[in-house]
Amino acid sequence: MTQTLMNPDTIASLFTREGRFLCARWGRPVAPVIFGLADESLAVFRDATRAVLAHARHPIAETDPEMGANLMTFFLRDWQELGDLPDIEGLTGQPDLAARLQGSGADQYRLFRFDADGTIRACIGFVNMGGRLADAHPGQLAETVAVRAMLSFARDVTPTRELAALIRAAYDPVMPAVATDPAHALRLAARVSRQI
pLDDT single digits (tens) 109-147 = 999 999 999 999 999 999 999 878 878 888 999 999 999
Q: Indicate if 12 and 59 belong to the same structural domain.
A: no
Asked if 169 contacts 57 with a C-beta cutoff of 8 angstroms, the reply is no
pLDDT, position 103: 85
pLDDT band at 3 (very low <50, low <70, confident <90, very high): very low
Domain that holds residue 128: 26-150
Could you tell me the CATH number of the domain that includes residue 124? 3.30.379
Residue-level pLDDT at 22: 98
Boundary residue ending a domain (134, 150, 166): 150
Model confidence at 1, pLDDT cuts 50, 70, 90, reads: very low
Alpha carbon 30 to its chain centroid, in Å, reads 12
- 128: β partners: 76
pLDDT in tens, 63-84: 999 999 999 999 999 998 988 8
Q: What pLDDT does 12 receive? A: 97
Classify burial at 176, counting beta carbons within 10 Å of its beta carbon; exposed 0-12, middle 13-18, buried 19 or more.
middle
Residues 142 and 56 grouped into a single domain: yes
φ and ψ at residue 126, rounded to 5 degrees: -130, 135
Look at residue 2 in the predicted model and tell me its pLDDT. 39
Is the domain of 9 the same as that of 103?
no
> Would you state the pLDDT for residue 39?
85
Per-residue pLDDT at 58 exceeds 90: yes
181 in the same domain as 143: no
Q: Which pLDDT score, from 0 to 100, does residue 26 have?
A: 98
Instruction: Let me know whether 156 and 144 are in one domain.
Output: no
Q: Do both 31 and 112 map to the same domain? A: yes
Q: How many domains does the chain have?
A: 2
Neighbouring CB atoms inside 10 A of 87's CB total: 7
How much is the average pLDDT of 39-48?
91
- 25: pLDDT strictly greater than 70: yes
Residues 97 and 186 occupy one common structural domain? no
Residue 157: pLDDT band with limits 50, 70, 90? very high
- Whether residues 121 and 47 share a domain: the answer is yes
Supply the pTM of this predicted model: 0.91
